[in-house]
Amino acid sequence: MLNDNKKSTDVQETVDRFWDMFIVDAFNGNFDRHGGNWGFIKKDNKFIMEYCSDDRITEYIPEEVIYKQRDSKLDGDLVKKHPEWFYKNKQGEFANRVGDWWDVTDLDYSSKELWEELISTLEYYVSLGVDGFRCDVASLVPIEFWKEARLRLKKINPNIILLAETIHLSFLKYIRDMGFEAHTDSEVYEAFDMEYDYDVYPLFQEYIETGNGLNEWLKAILEQESRFPRNYIKIHGLENHDSKRVASSIKDANKLRNLNALMFFLKGTTF
């Protein structure tokens, strides 16, 4: 696609630096990873970060070129150049560890060359002014990789913020039962500043959907104090792109406002 666009410059550099954007995930929250609703812009041979959506494309073309995320698992140049960087199943085929993610070929982190490729890409974005990353399903990536990435990114910007999308406890057990690596929230805090609150979010969802379990959810939040570092930060929210809209279960506008306000009073931060 990029090679077909006559406005593109340094196409190979763009491909090399952009293929693994799923690591940092969408800068605008990744409401729909398949919708092509985000990207970055290159103008006058310079890169800038910018929110973009399908209805804004005409705002930039033809003066700028918008590069979008591509999820197709076999069309990337790195798959062809470095097949050893990608996970393969027992049949030797490119694959993933979680069947639901049919459109993604997992990376094989046993290669330190892969580490260098990924971390240098993160460093590249920090050099452009990016001051934080939300890392998708960070719990399934080796913690030693994240620790190395953190160390190097902090050298460029000591104030960089790393947010981990951690995973539900049931999913962590599911991955481990299959024989794959998955880190607990406590382990992930070795490399990240903030984490999702998926360790307690199912209890909140139960309350939202049934009206029961509010005390259990609040008790679980208090128990976090005994499991995580003293300065831990959890990020809370009524909903996100992986959950039902909270208004589909709670019809009372005042209750919605109160719950939204509660998110801001819990320890940590919120969406």
Three-state secondary structure string covering the chain = CCCCCCCCCCHHHHHHHHCCHHHHCCCCCCCCHHHCCCEEEEECCEEEEECCCHHHHHHHCCCCEEEECCCCCCCCHHHHHCHHHECECCCCCECCCCCCCCCCCCECCCCHHHHHHHHHHHHHHHHCCCCEEEECCHHHCCHHHHHHHHHHHHHHCCCCEEEECCCCHHHHHHHHHCCCCCCCHHHHCCCCCEEECCCCHHHHHHHHHHCCCHHHHHHHHHHHHHCCCCCCCEEECCCCCCCCCHHHCCCCHHHHHHHHHHHHHCCCEEC
Tell me what pLDDT residue 119 has: 94
For the chain, which ranges sit under pLDDT 70?
A: 1-77, 100, 102-103
Tell me what pLDDT residue 12 has: 59
Residues 6+ apart with CB under 8 A from 227: 185, 186
For residues 126 and 160, the answer to whether their CB atoms sit within 8 Å is: yes
Tell me what pLDDT residue 13 has: 58
Say how many Å lie between the first and final Cα of the chain, rounded.
34
The model's pTM: 0.73
Tell me what pLDDT residue 262 has: 92
Angle at 71 between CA 65 and CA 190, to 5 degrees: 105
Could you give the CA distance from residue 175 to residue 86 in angstroms, rounded to a whole number?
18
